[in-house]
Amino acid sequence: MDAQALESLRSLVATERVLTAAVVVDGEPVAALLPYAVASDGSALVVQVSGLARHAAGMRSGATIGVLVHAAATSDRDPTALPRLSMQAVVEEPERGSAAFVDAATRLVERFPIVATTLALGDFRVCLLKLGRGRYVEGFARAVNVGPDILRSPGADGQAG
C-alpha cells in the first residue's frame, strides 16, 4: 500500500466514530452499529457491548466477526465510491480490572466521555476487536488488501481521534 492510501485509511478510522459489526447469533446474521476507539497499540478497535443487545451473543471471546468503517454518506458523494475499511476481527474480552481492560476502557472514555457512565452499569463490557485481514476501498478502482498491522505506527500510540 502506498503512503497516501495508508494515510487516507488512518484518517478514515480517526475521523469516523462508529463501525458496523457483523455477527452470527443462533445461526442468523445480526449487524450492530457501535462507537469505537483504537487500542493504544493499534492492534484492535475497542467497543463496549451491552449484554442486553442481541448482537452481544455473537461478540464473545474467540468469535470472528466482520467490521466495517466507512465515510459518511452525504448527498454530494457517490455512495458507491465512499472510502471504507472492511476487516475480519477476533473478539477478545479483557477481564474487568485487568491492565488490558483499563487501557481499553480509557481509550473509549477519552473518545466518548459517556462511556464512563455506561461501563459502570453491570450489563456493559469492553471488547477488543483484534484486526485480521481485510480490504480498504478508497474509491472507484482504488482498493487494496490490508493486514492486522494497518493501524500501527512505529513510535505512535495508535490513538485515532
Residue 121 covered by a domain: yes
Residue 113 covered by a domain: yes
Measure CA 121 to chain center: 22
- Residue 138 sits in a domain of what CATH number? 2.30.110.10
Report pLDDT digits (tens) over 48-99. Answer: 999 889 999 999 999 999 999 999 988 998 888 899 999 999 999 999 999 9
Is it the case that residue 15 has pLDDT exceeding 60? Answer: yes
Residue 142 covered by a domain: yes
What's the mean per-residue pLDDT of the chain? 91
Residue 77 covered by a domain: no
| CB contact at 8 A, 26 and 35 | no
Is it the case that residue 10 has pLDDT exceeding 50? Answer: yes
pLDDT for res 80: 85
pLDDT for res 160: 42
Q: Is the pTM of this model over 0.85?
A: yes
Torsion angle, alpha carbons of 73, 74, 80, 85, to 10: -30
pLDDT for res 161: 40
Spell out the residues 6+ positions from residue 85 whose beta carbon is closer than 8 angstroms to its own: 9, 12, 13, 67, 68, 69, 70, 134, 135, 136, 137, 146, 150
Report pLDDT digits (tens) over 17-31. Answer: 999 999 999 999 999
**Count of domains for the chain:** 1
Residue 156 covered by a domain: no
Residue 28 covered by a domain: yes
Torsion angle, alpha carbons of 104, 120, 23, 71, to 10: -60
Residue 38 covered by a domain: yes
Residue 44's domain comprises 3-72+82-146
Q: What is the mean pLDDT of residues 127-147?
A: 93
